[in-house]
Structure 1
Amino acid sequence: MKLQYKMVILFSAILLFTVGITGYNTQNQLQKTIETQMGNNAMDLAVTIASLENIQKNLMKKDAEAIQSQIETFREKTRFQYIIVMDMDGIKYSYPYEVSIGKKYLSGGEEDVLKHGKAYTSADRNRFISAIRAFAPIDYQGEQIGAVLVGLLNDTVNREIEPYTRNFQIALVIALVLGIIFTFLMTTNIKKTIFGQEPKEISLLLGEKELILESIDTGIVAINSKQEITLMNDLAKKIFQVDQEVEQDIRMFDDRYAELLVSSMEEDETILHVDIQTRFNINLLCSFKPLKNHNDEIIGAVSTFQNKTEVKRMVEELGGMKHLTDNLRAQNHEFLNKLHIISGLIQLDEKEQAVKYIAELSEQRQEILGILTHNIKNVYVAGLLLAKYSKATENKIDFVVDKWSNMDKLPPHMSPDKFCSIVGNLIENAIEELLGKKQSKIYVKLTQDIEHVHLIVEDNGSGIAEDKREKVFERGISSKKGQRGYGLWIIHNYIEEAKGSIHLTSSEDGTSWEVWLPMKQI
């Protein structure tokens, strides 16, 4: 059931219950108030009649005719249905129907007035009538000689209060209807406010939003018009080292960052790609944009940022891709040269030489393809090794993949990009070391068992200088001219994240890298 219908039903039920209880209690209270007032009026009349000297004397004389005549005169001028004068034995001397005069009063309730001389009101509810009664003693010369009873039927009371009751009931019904209409209008407005979404849909959207915010590699901070933080994802919390973001003042951050974020909101200006260094010495590449509601009113601002070191790494990786593309173009050129050689041999009718030349090329290619196809099941790694083989061959470097290499899958906690970055950087360093050298060779062995992935990359270059071996994993350290020294630093971080290890062995005869990566997360 939709939220709007649930709210209408719930509020209508609450209104119905409240109005019903209120109406019931009010009507009962009104009934009791009217009955009490009527009882008081009946008592006033009963006391008045009991104090009349003529009634007292006629009752002493037991003159029923005189009493009946006088009492009926009184009764016809009032709203009361019956007035009964009785002696101490309960014998009636007046009654609306003369046939009952002289008979004993049998309806009950007169005991206290006759035996104890009390004046009181009571309700007479039997199967024939329902009435309000007032009893008062009749005294003569200091002695009780009887009692008077004044009665008013409840039907008369009900007729008198019926107009008030009807009006009250109509008012209750109108209040109930207006309440239901107001509830419907209110729920409709709420529905519009939440853009017609149901609670489950809102919950799903919020969940998706949280997942998206926490899965992206970009820090996000948002503020409201009071310059209070309303949103900060986990990456932003980590960079600014805060535990809870809600309602914190933006001024808690670095002045430059806070100034630009507030300026974007106040000036309604989008600010892109600004370099900011935090007080924790982290370089950020930031962008700022004002936030607006559906009425185009500025309600805050949002900032997105990335660690500039990561941005540089991505730029370098893109540069590596460009380098790979250039290598592929060069390889394509080399293949064209080989095709030209084959074409020339055929045109010179040197068919045997052409076949021999093709066989040599095919044998070299098939050997590496066989190892990669049958032993290396991960297509990313196989593709990388094939590309490095092509590049090494293009540069006259003997590239050997151990025939006992085998790999079925990557460690589950390491992405293909990171693993390929480790393998690719080590091989690329070896290729660059061997460029222009004769009889150069690169040896690669990649094995996997239940517990580890084991990688060996060796070259027969001139090695790494001893004074640089201990610092080789530091950022910016490189033995190559024109390089910035980020490759080994990056892969060292990847290996440490995976709880693995990397070992370097280097001498004048070459360099050997050995990497161990656990198959299970430690």
Structure 2
Amino acid sequence: DDLGFEGRLRDVLVGARHGAADRHDQVVIRRGRLLVMNRMTVMKDGRLLGSVTTLRDRTELAELEREIGSFRSSSELLRAQAHEFANQLHTISGLIQIGEQDEVVRYIRALNQRRQSLDVTLARRVRDTAIAALLMAKSSLAAERKVSLRISAGTALGRLAPEDAADLATVIGNLVDNAVDAAASDDDTGDAWVEVELRQDASSVEVVVRDSGPGLPPEVAREVFAHGFTTKAAQEGERGIGLALTKLVCERHSGEISVANTADGAMFTAHMPLGHPADVAPEGVPG
């Protein structure tokens, strides 16, 4: 209390949130640092002596993970595409074996149209190659989990300075990953989807990620970004790191991130001012 700590940091230190026996890792953002904290009470002969809290500074490690994210995305894309192509070849082989040659032609045409549709959409609406490649990779990975990744008709993004593109990729990648998790876990119909919308003006980019998942409980929606805390951090570890890093990246650009429930699921909105002038923007978007 004398140090003026408040919010999530104080809750973890005093054990107010989950009780004295809680030993789960908690994620806290403090003065631009991403901390993973773990609190354990100390008992002797049934008497409470105090507590021990360990703090691990994950800021540099999280930023290193962000820097190698483009390489990871490329390898994940190749793996996902290999898996997708193998499944398609098995389908074609099976149709040929049962003598359905006409169906083979229709199937191949449908595959080609679907792929061309995504390629054309990204090429027309997302001019930054790093972001376009990331979305292509996430589309293949989502398809593996039977989730359709859509690019909103309102999307328009120009080429960005490398530093801005790297930070924006962190934000988009983490939000899409969480949305795919939510949509895949709540789908029994095969209609799971995630929609990404990128809007750019002369000084900032706004990222909106919607999903068909179950949404967030009201109490979680209120506090999920309030103090750098994420509920999933306590339950699933690394996924909480991703959301906390997303918040940290936005704040370093003097931006913000919020989450709300919609009629379909959850909607995350991140606003990130650009630290470097945009290069060439698509039609209708200031350069």
Pick the TM interval, shorter chain: 0.5 to 0.7
Matching of residue 449 in structure 1 with residue 205 in structure 2: no
Given that 2:76 and 2:137 are in contact with CA atoms closer than 8 Å, whether structure 1 keeps it comes out as: no
Matching of residue 435 in structure 1 with residue 184 in structure 2: yes
Matching of residue 381 in structure 1 with residue 136 in structure 2: no
Tell me the distance in 2 between the aligned counterparts of 1:406 and 1:492.
23
What's 1:478 paired with?
231
Higher-helix-fraction structure: 1
Given that 1:463 and 1:507 are in contact with CA atoms closer than 8 Å, whether structure 2 keeps it comes out as: yes
Unpaired runs of at least 5, structure 2:
1-30, 36-55, 277-287
Q: Secondary structure at the match of 1:405?
A: coil
Matching of residue 340 in structure 1 with residue 90 in structure 2: yes
What's 2:268 paired with?
513
Higher relative contact order (CA 8 A, sep 6+): 2
The alpha-carbon distance between structure 1 residues 452 and 312, as it changes in their structure 2 partners (threshold 3 A), is closer
TM-superposed CA distance for 1:326, in Å, is 5.4
Given that 1:414 and 1:498 are in contact with CA atoms closer than 8 Å, whether structure 2 keeps it comes out as: no
TM-superposed CA distance for 1:471, in Å, is 2.9
TM-superposed CA distance for 1:430, in Å, is 0.2
Given that 1:502 and 1:516 are in contact with CA atoms closer than 8 Å, whether structure 2 keeps it comes out as: yes
Given that 2:77 and 2:138 are in contact with CA atoms closer than 8 Å, whether structure 1 keeps it comes out as: no
What's 2:150 paired with?
400
Cα RMSD for the two superposed structures: 3.2
Q: Secondary structure at the match of 1:403?
A: coil
Identity of aligned residues (%): 28
Matching of residue 467 in structure 1 with residue 219 in structure 2: yes
Given that 1:462 and 1:507 are in contact with CA atoms closer than 8 Å, whether structure 2 keeps it comes out as: no
Cα deviations across residues 258-309 of structure 1 (Å, max 9, x unaligned)?
Answer: xxxxxxxxxxxxxxxxxxxxxx9x999xxxxxxxxxxxxxxxxxxxxxx942
The alpha-carbon distance between structure 1 residues 407 and 283, as it changes in their structure 2 partners (threshold 3 A), is closer
Q: Secondary structure at the match of 2:157?
A: coil
The alpha-carbon distance between structure 1 residues 478 and 415, as it changes in their structure 2 partners (threshold 3 A), is same
TM-superposed CA distance for 1:475, in Å, is 4.3
The alpha-carbon distance between structure 1 residues 428 and 488, as it changes in their structure 2 partners (threshold 3 A), is same
Tell me the distance in 1 between the aligned counterparts of 2:220 and 2:179.
16
Provide the TM-score with structure 2 as the length reference: 0.65
Cα deviations across residues 150-209 of structure 1 (Å, max 9, x unaligned)?
Answer: xxxxxxxxxxxxxxxxxxxxxxxxxxxxxxxxxxxxxxxxxxxxxxxxxxxxxxxxxxxx
Tell me the distance in 2 between the aligned counterparts of 1:322 and 1:478.
26
What is the one-letter code of the residue matched to 2:231?
S
What is the one-letter code of the residue matched to 1:504?
V
Q: How does 1:299-338 map to 2 (within 5 A)?
A: 308-314=57-63, 317=66, 325=75, 328-338=78-88
The alpha-carbon distance between structure 1 residues 335 and 283, as it changes in their structure 2 partners (threshold 3 A), is closer
What is the one-letter code of the residue matched to 2:210?
E
Pick from 158, 172, 190: which aligns with 1:423?
A: 172
The alpha-carbon distance between structure 1 residues 471 and 409, as it changes in their structure 2 partners (threshold 3 A), is same
Q: How does 1:123-522 map to 2 (within 5 A)?
A: 308-314=57-63, 317=66, 325=75, 328-410=78-160, 412=161, 414-436=163-185, 437-438=187-188, 439-473=191-225, 474-475=227-228, 477-479=230-232, 481-484=235-238, 485-506=240-261, 509-519=264-274
Given that 2:184 and 2:213 are in contact with CA atoms closer than 8 Å, whether structure 1 keeps it comes out as: no
Query: What is the aligned residue count?
Result: 218
Given that 2:127 and 2:159 are in contact with CA atoms closer than 8 Å, whether structure 1 keeps it comes out as: yes
Provide the TM-score with structure 1 as the length reference: 0.38
Q: Secondary structure at the match of 2:158?
A: coil
Cα deviations across residues 316-348 of structure 1 (Å, max 9, x unaligned)?
Answer: 556996687457424412311211222333354
What is the one-letter code of the residue matched to 1:405?
T
What is the one-letter code of the residue matched to 1:335?
F
Q: Which deviates further from its counterpart, 331-340 or 376-385?
A: 331-340
TM-superposed CA distance for 1:501, in Å, is 2.6
The alpha-carbon distance between structure 1 residues 501 and 319, as it changes in their structure 2 partners (threshold 3 A), is closer
Tell me the distance in 2 between the aligned counterparts of 1:515 and 1:314.
18
Tell me the distance in 1 between the aligned counterparts of 2:149 and 2:72.
22
TM-superposed CA distance for 1:465, in Å, is 2.0
Q: Secondary structure at the match of 1:435?
A: helix
Q: Secondary structure at the match of 1:470?
A: helix
Cα deviations across residues 59-107 of structure 1 (Å, max 9, x unaligned)?
Answer: xxxxxxxxxxxxxxxxxxxxxxxxxxxxxxxxxxxxxxxxxxxxxxxxx
Tell me the distance in 1 between the aligned counterparts of 2:133 and 2:83.
20
